[in-house]
Amino acid sequence: MSNRILDVVDLKTYFQDESTGGIIKACDGVNLQMNEGEIVGLVGESGCGKSTIGRTIIGLEPPFSGKIIYKGTDILMESRSNRSKVRRNIQYIFQDPYAALSPRQTVWMSIEEALIINGEKNKTAIESRVKELLISVGLEHYISDSYPRELSGGQRQRVCIARALATNPKVLICDEPASSLDVSIRAQIMNLFLKEKINPLIGSAGVSAVPMAARISHHVGQEANPKTFLLPHAMGPNVAGVIGSAVIAGVFISLVN
Q: Which of 26-35, 118-127, 156-165, 179-188 has the lowest mean pLDDT?
A: 179-188
Confidence at residue 213, expressed as pLDDT on a 0 to 100 scale: 46
- Low-confidence winner among 3-12, 56-65, 150-159, 244-253 (lowest mean pLDDT): 244-253
Burial (CB < 10 A; 0-12, 13-18, 19+), residue 79, is exposed
Q: What is the DSSP string of 122-185?
A: -HHHHHHHHHHHHHHTT--GGGGG--GGGS-HHHHHHHHHHHHHTT--SEEEEESTTTTS-HHH
Q: Contacts by 110-115 with C-beta closer than 8 Å and gap 24+?
A: 110/159, 110/163, 111/159, 111/162, 111/163, 111/166, 114/163, 114/164, 114/166, 114/167, 115/166, 115/167
145 inside domain: yes
pLDDT for the residue numbered 130 = 93
What residues make up the domain containing 103?
93-168
What per-residue confidence (pLDDT) applies to 12? 92
In a domain, 87, yes or no: no
- Is position 112 within any domain? yes
pLDDT for 220 beyond 70: no
Residue 228 pLDDT greater than 50, yes or no: no
Burial class (CB in 10 A: 0-12, 13-18, 19+), 88: middle
Which pLDDT value is given to residue 203? 54
* Statement: residue 7 has pLDDT above 70: yes
In a domain, 46, yes or no: no
Q: What is the mean pLDDT of the chain?
A: 75
Q: Report how many domains make up the chain.
A: 1
- Candidates 201, 155, 208; CA nearest to 36 is 201
Total H helices, total E strands in the chain: 8, 9
- Would 155 be classed as within a structural domain? yes
Report the pLDDT averaged over residues 211-224: 40
72 inside domain: no
Q: Answer yes or no: is 257 within a domain.
A: no
In this prediction the pTM is 0.72
73 lies in some domain: no
* Helices 123-136 + 107-117 axis angle, to 10: 120
Q: What is the pLDDT of residue 176?
A: 73
Does 1 have pLDDT greater than 50?
A: no
> What's the pLDDT tens digit per position in 171-214?
888 887 666 666 667 666 767 766 666 665 665 544 444 444 44
pLDDT of residue 252: 32
